[in-house]
Structure 1
Amino acid sequence: MTKVRGLLPVVGAVLIVAAAVLLLGFSDTLNPLDAIRGLGRVVTVPDFAGSPLPRARAEAENLGLKPDTRSAFSLTAPRGTIIGQKPAAGQKARSGDPIELVVSSGVNRTRMPAAVGRPIAEVTRELGDPGVPVEIIEVSNETVANGIVVAQSPAPDVLVAQAGSVRLEVSSGPDSRPVPDLTGLSIEGAAFRLGKAGLLFGPVTQADDPAVVAGAVISSAPAQGTKVPKDTPVALTVSNGSAPIPVPEVTKTQQVPATEVLRAAGFLVDVAGQLVVTGDPGVGNVFGQNPVAGTPYRPGQVVTIVVGRVPPPRRAATTTTTLATTPTGSSTTTTVKASTPTTKAGG
């Protein structure tokens, strides 16, 4: 009996603790077992969004939570109000736990930098740090390099809100332009037309082409119509005319057939005379040619032939004599035609 009486206080204490656990174990109040383990009571985290910081801080502290604050810009929330929290509203926490409260510092405002003449990457990096949205518009420009800002809105030093809009016009460099048609032009004409188009005169390559006159442009690279940036060099292929062929042999032939042979081969013909005596069998014959037969020569070039010719006939001399004045006061003029005596063979 003595042992039973000694156990009664212990059993009673256990029953009391068990009843307390059953009654309080699932409430938001202090759990006796947690209290025994040194843990705080369980609370439901309120929604602090929109509350002024002092009110939110006081409410959190009343629940036994430990507020920790940080600031962030907001486009909509007034300065000093709560815009975020962790743990989120509705979650469970214990008294003594920390809670992070994010406080609005209001709308961010940035001083607009001077952007014109600067690289777009540099300007957007400067505006991107505070989070200002930037609208970039590319425009062609004949004088400003690609990627350089040519216009801005708003002007420098204007305060821009984070919700504001910044517009920057950025050079994309000169507009592309088509390569003009240069076919058939002389080198000088092609250079002039390229200059008018804003392009540069490039290297020249010679090529044989019987269909294109010597000295005229056959083709260009880039080809006609290709769009290229300003100051792009354009290379030209210029015709030498037809490929060289051997000059035909026309000496010791008459002028007319010799000329026909040379023209049939595509050459131009120039005739030079060589005097021979009358009756010489070489009259009308080709005595020589330049270039000589067999020389490689391009059709369209001039071949000179030397043809035998007799000297022109000599004209008879005419002598005019004025006689003395007659008694009547008139004068008499007598024309005497002198002839060159002819010597006959054997006479």
Structure 2
Amino acid sequence: MTGRVLEGRYRIGPRIARGGMASVYEATDIRLDRTVAIKIMHPGLGDDDEFAARFVREARSAARLSHPNVVAVYDQGDDHGTVFLAMELIDGITLRDVIRKEAPMPPARALALMEPVLSALAAAHRAGLIHRDVKPENVLIADDGRVKVADFGLARAVSADTQHTATGGVLIGTVSYLAPELVIDGRADARADVYAAGVVLFELLTGAKPHEGETPIQVAYKHVHDDVPAPSTLEPGLPPYVDALVARATARDRSLRPADAGVLLHQVRRVTHALAEGVAEDPELTQDLTPLLVAPPVPDGDQREETRDLERTTRLRTSPPPPPAPARRTGRPRRRRGLLATVLAVLLVAGLAVGSWWFFDGRYTSTPGVLGMTKAAAAQKLADAGLEVEYGDQAYSETVPAGRVVATDPAPGDQVLDGGTVAVTISLGKERYDVPKLKGLTEDEAQDALAQAHLAYGTTKDRWSDTVPEGQVITSSPKAGTTLRPDAAVDLVVSKGPKPVRLKDWVGKDADDALAWLRAKGLDGKVVSEEYSDTVADGGVISMDPPSGTTLHRGDAVQLVVSKGPELVDVPSVRGQGVDAATQTLEGLGFHVETRQAPGSLGLGFVFSQDPEAGARVPRGSTITLNLI
């Protein structure tokens, strides 16, 4: 894309970021002469007309957001299938960079970072927009300290009409920040953004994500079934009301969360005020923030059906009996009926007890523990327990060797129906990837190669190189072939081309030495002419183009003018000529003339002899001495 002009207006410069759905480039708005950021969707997404239409619709909605903490959207376009957004360019770092450097951080600092984020989300929620991909990478911090939230509307555009199902629906968002309802059915409202913001706050406070797993599916499962732990379990000493704030924002039951980011922002400011006052404990604030209910686990299909059956049975068995019909008083028959009723009641209670035991416990058995066993051994143990086996997708594991059982569903010790099925996951061993060969690729190509290899791009260092062209990778750290964990960072060393040369002054010095030095520096030295010089010896440099002190790059040309020494002139014979005539002749040829009286001179004024002698070749401007008689 670099160098391309979109819609005749945006000249694309270097790529500055790459995500799962789009890449961001620095660009120049030719029309307004300003620098902008251009987000360009990956081709596979932009080719979908329905998606492109949703993208345009949501981009227009996002462009209506005018808030100091929202990255402004200037324009949207489609240049022959290249769907793009033109946005405000923020020079700085992301909140992810801050987490790497500062987390775990004091709660006051964490909340100070969250306030502008929540303010931006609150503005979006008031406008009817849901971000749906709140994460540290989408929070930009400018060099002057301004906090900006990016990517408004993009995630919503991707999934506005998409439902997540167990049979192949699309799940949009970064798994570490997904609200449970997004995992279950793919539908979300403003409270999904609240949940993600709560997870970000947890990460700021602890330096860790609340839910970790060896696969994205395991992380998503934990979001549905496990509460976000209290930050104080990782960072003891945090006030209880800070724990309560995180618990409220990340409640699995979305009805217990703040209704939108504006409500959460109000709660954050209450906590910020308490921290500023130095309050260690505030029971009233803690109680106000603590969720009042515990969200029930979401049952699977079979469990939901069993639950409904159980509820119907319970209602039938616990409904109060109808009032008895009036009866006439009699003697012994009444006592018999009372005894019979007692026996029937006992039998009914016993039947209910047995039925309840069977329904809740008797028809179940415990899942045998087979973790770490080979596939064959695990299958045999489950078969011996009367259970069926099915194998799901294999999963990587840091602790369980390849080919052995890494997980079962139900888990070991959990109840399973007699004769039921246990899903077994076999380990693929440790997930590792080799650093690809990157030398000779451009920086963009290297980043793409790392993404395809399940590795992360780290940083780039520029280095002079006489052998690798400018803009290409010289090497990587770690080097190609090194085996790394997934998403491990790989740093690049990129060539700046040959190191510039400051041209040395060779005027008056030997031309051969000058040419040798130029060749050693990778410069193209040439002798363009030779001239006579009265000041520079033969073979010396008279002049250079460019002049000394100029900064040059490898391959640049340097032209030399080389001296042939002084120009030589034949000395004519002026012997016998009068002094005036001889002087005029010699000076006409560029000589200087000196005269003196020869020994025994008669004072006639004629040349008796000359030095140098006639026929000698001497430099122009030489002095000729005339001896007069």
Which has more strand, going by share of residues?
A: 1
Larger Rg: 1
Which has more helix, going by share of residues?
A: 2
TM-score (norm 2): 0.27
Q: For CA contacts below 8 A with separation 6 or more, give which structure has more relative contact order.
A: 1
